[in-house]
């Protein structure tokens, strides 16, 4: 991720409203700690996982939950507006402000080339803001890493779930994700027999 500029969340919103970003040449960017950063392009495996998680989320989401797909959250105190792949937030309108940490039930990042970033800086940001349930869908290792119990800039709990396991939501434990089903349609990049 390369830094484009340093700005506040308010300046970022004014730039968006003023049309500062060329919609004819869309670049995926997010505001992290006051820096406009380019996001890595996503490939088919990433897109497929996001599609699966979106369908799963819409099917199982409890009452009072809105599913946001690749939309921003707002952490003004950190000058940050990350765009997680999925977020379960309180079901209300967010036309005036982005969902803040208190509105968030679950954040899911799908990781392939961004795995180090999602485990590192993104995890620190989410922990600092108090996001209690952060899942990293680790495509290379075919697992879901669940980070919980945030304290300052880190999570004190990390559990890894693999095929055969079900990941349960922290706030809604009646909801679970079948890890095998998530990865069944994603080809193993190291499996040359599929070529």
- Cβ-based burial of 118 (10 A; exposed 0-12, middle 13-18, buried ≥19): buried
Q: Domains of the chain: which residue ranges?
A: 42-187
Closest to 88 measured CA to CA, from 76, 75, 71 = 71
For β-strands 166-168 and 65-69, DSSP reports them as: unpaired
Pair of tokens at residue 98: 């982005």
Pair of tokens at residue 96: 């005036």
On the question of pLDDT at 161 being above 90, the answer is yes
How confident is the model at residue 24, as a pLDDT?
A: 56
Ranges of beta strands (E only) in the chain are 3-6, 29-32, 35-38, 65-69, 86-90, 104-111, 133-138, 143-151, 154-161, 166-168, 176-178
The mean per-residue pLDDT over the stretch 53-77 comes to 95
Q: Which CATH class is domain 42-187?
A: alpha beta
How confident is the model at residue 195, as a pLDDT?
A: 37
On the question of pLDDT at 36 being above 80, the answer is no
**What residues contact residue 166 under an 8 Å CB cut-off, 6+ apart?**
176, 177, 178, 179
Rounded to two decimals, what is the model's pTM? 0.82
How confident is the model at residue 97, as a pLDDT?
A: 92
How confident is the model at residue 104, as a pLDDT?
A: 98
Find the DSSP H helices in 28-101.
44-60
**Using CA of residue 22, residue 27, residue 28, residue 31, what is the dihedral sign?**
negative
**Using CA of residue 149, residue 70, residue 97, residue 119, what is the dihedral sign?**
positive
Q: Range with the lowest mean pLDDT among 19-33, 45-59, 72-86, 88-102? A: 19-33
């Amino acid at each position: 991720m390369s830094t484009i500029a340093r700005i506040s969340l308010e300046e970022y919103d004014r730039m968006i409203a003023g049309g500062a970003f060329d919609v004819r040449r869309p670049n995926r960017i997010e505001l992290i700690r006051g820096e406009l950063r380019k996001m890595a392009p996503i490939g088919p495996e990433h897109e497929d996982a996001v599609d699966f998680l979106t369908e799963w989320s819409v099917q199982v989401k409890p009452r009072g939950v809105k599913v946001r797909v690749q939309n921003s959250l707002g952490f003004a105190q950190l000058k940050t507006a990350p765009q997680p792949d999925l977020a379960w937030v309180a079901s209300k309108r967010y036309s005036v402000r982005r969902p803040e940490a208190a509105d968030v039930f679950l954040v899911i990042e799908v990781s392939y080339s961004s795995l180090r970033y999602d485990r590192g800086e993104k995890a620190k940001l989410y922990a600092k803001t108090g996001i209690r349930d952060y899942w990293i869908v680790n495509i290379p290792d075919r697992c879901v890493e669940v980070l919980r119990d945030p304290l300052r800039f880190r999570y004190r709990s990390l559990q890894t779930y693999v095929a055969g396991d079900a990941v349960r939501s922290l706030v809604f434990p009646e909801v679970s994700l079948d890890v095998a089903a998530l990865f069944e349609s994603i080809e193993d990049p190291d499996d040359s027999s599929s070529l």
